[in-house]
Amino acid sequence: MKTTFLSVWIMVLMAANLAAQRDIPSELIQYPNLILNNGKILTVDEDFRTAEAVAIRDGVFLAVGTNQEIQRLRGPETQTIDLEGKTVIPGFVATDADNDFVGGNLYKETLIGRKIYGTLRGLIERDDILQEIEKRVASRPAGERVFFRVPEESADALNLTLADLDPVTPNHPIAISITSADMVVNSLMLDDLVASMPGGEKHPAIIKDPQTGKPTGQIYGQATGIVGWDLRPWPTIDEAMVEEQKEMFLDLNRKGITSMVAHTQGFNLSVINVLWHQNELSVRVFASHDFLRQNPNAEAYLRRIGNLVDFGLGDMVRIVGAGLASADGNADIGNALTLEPKLRSGGYAFAPDGQNKWIGYGPHHDSWEDQNVPRELTEWNNVQVAIKYGWNTTGIHNVGDQAAAIWMQSIEEGLEQPDMVLRPWRPFGLDHNLFWNPKNYSLIEKLDMRRGLGKMWQRPEAAVELYGDRIHDAQPVSELIQRGFKVHIEGTNPWEEIARYITRRDRRGRVWGPDHAIDRPTALRMKTLWAARFIDEDANLGSIEKGKKADLAVLESDYMTVPEEQIEKIAVVLTVVDGKVVYEKP
């Protein structure tokens, strides 16, 4: 009798529950927007689990599991994609992506008539440079400021002075960018610079002739900042420019890239703003803002704008720190700043340990320890000021281990300032990091310094000529991971970059440091989850897990089993960003 009564009561409750469910308004029932099933989903979670299916709702992974587990979540309007056994990976997080903006690195690009031309390739020799400049300014109105960028490999360009430029540009203020720090200007541009520069002509970033004491036209650091940022007009942001940026982002999607991290400036962010408002932004943008870079008025700027870290546009755009000027250059031309000297100086005759861009122009031999230039007049000051107001610095070009040490020491000093206004909460980060030295490891750990890996495959034959067998120990990935450093692979050609670190083989088939090769799961983790960790976004991005942002790529080949020599040829057939399909291979 009791059993019969209990059974009836349970049936009554179940009926009541079903009736209640029928009464739930449809607006409160949220099924997945998208399900992908019948696939090989590499989640890149802590255990590197493989799943069969995934459900997405409102731009977030709702569930990850078997086909049966996910299919039961399907609603009447859920879109389903049959993967037919294809491999799925988290969307790539591409760091060091500053060249994928339509404005490039505007502060140093060629700009004529408010139109961007980029680097004028092939202009290496002195006479070719001067002839091209004379030809290009001839058609411009007198008085118009004109800006040029030539390849940094041009030693002739570094040796130019205003005495060379004035005869061919008598009516136009002009500037030539050679590296990110080194620039040469003519007399008209120098006049504009001096009028805007704190301290005027006396500022050490305006190079003087040791015999006459007069400016040579060669400038660096904060002087380059005034010319490159403050005296340079912006191009017009029109429909064509916005469309070009849209296509650049779609090209990233075709490679499986769903997020990009880059230092950039207000111009590029303004273009992105237009795309976001048109609902046509297909890549997440994490920007390290360059507003303090080479800025002699850093604290005044910060007092005006405050701390904008984490400001952004929805879930698609976010400012993740301040971008500042690099302390060194590149290994292939010999101006990476290293703790151990090169075998030889290189074509520029850079100092044996490279070039410190914070304290001198071109191939100078000054060292940071000498303090020949007051640190308050260098990028060191901007590090201190940024930290004082709660800004972290990230996306910083860094190749040599001595440059890394200078950066980290500057950050350490900044964090110990007695007059801090606000402490930074996002991590500090350095790009590239070709040379590593155990002397730096304790400071990396103390600061929790996030570091990317790049530049390894940029003309390695030139680097090995300068550094010898040390190139084989550059970026010792296996050693770094064993130490606990979650380094990531940077760049916007993900399959080529992944293949390089798995094989340690360059484009010509030569192997560099085979002992530091890594396996496929580690390489994929370094290009996704650990790349997200670089900007402290690994709780939101970089793996396919419940609650994370729904960014993924579907592959034509199986990454885990395709022959090693085919990895860099893997094609992406579908890319999803924020739960929406942004690319599908025709």
Specify the higher pLDDT residue, 29 or 531: 531
Q: pLDDT digits over 138-192, tens only?
A: 999 999 999 999 998 888 999 999 999 999 999 999 999 999 999 999 999 999 9
Q: Which residues contact 563 (CB under 8 A, 6 or more apart)?
A: none
Q: Please report the domains of the chain, with CATH numbers, ordered by start residue.
A: 2-85 (2.30.40.10), 104-230 (3.10.310.70), 326-538 (3.20.20.140)
pLDDT value for 28:
67
Q: Which residues contact 48 (CB under 8 A, 6 or more apart)?
A: 42, 521, 525
pLDDT value for 462:
78
pLDDT value for 299:
97
pLDDT band at residue 471 using 50, 70 and 90 as cut-offs: confident
The 8-class DSSP code of residue 542 comes to S
How far apart (Å, rounded) are the C-alpha atoms in residues 443 and 436? Answer: 12
Phi, psi of 532 (to 5 degrees): -65, -35
- Put simply, whether the predicted model's pTM sits higher than 0.85 gets the answer yes
Q: pLDDT digits over 50-83, tens only?
A: 999 999 999 999 999 999 999 999 999 999 999 9
Q: pLDDT digits over 512-551, tens only?
A: 899 999 999 999 999 999 999 999 999 999 999 999 999 9
Largest interatomic CA distance in the chain:
114
Tokens 């009791």: give the residue: 2
Strand order in the sheet with 92-94: 92-94, 257-264, 284-289, 317-322, 312-313
Of 373, 325, 352, residue with least CA distance to 466: 352
Average pLDDT over residues 384-395: 98
Specify the higher pLDDT residue, 422 or 355: 422
pLDDT value for 9:
56
| Percent of the chain residues past pLDDT 70, beyond the cut | 94
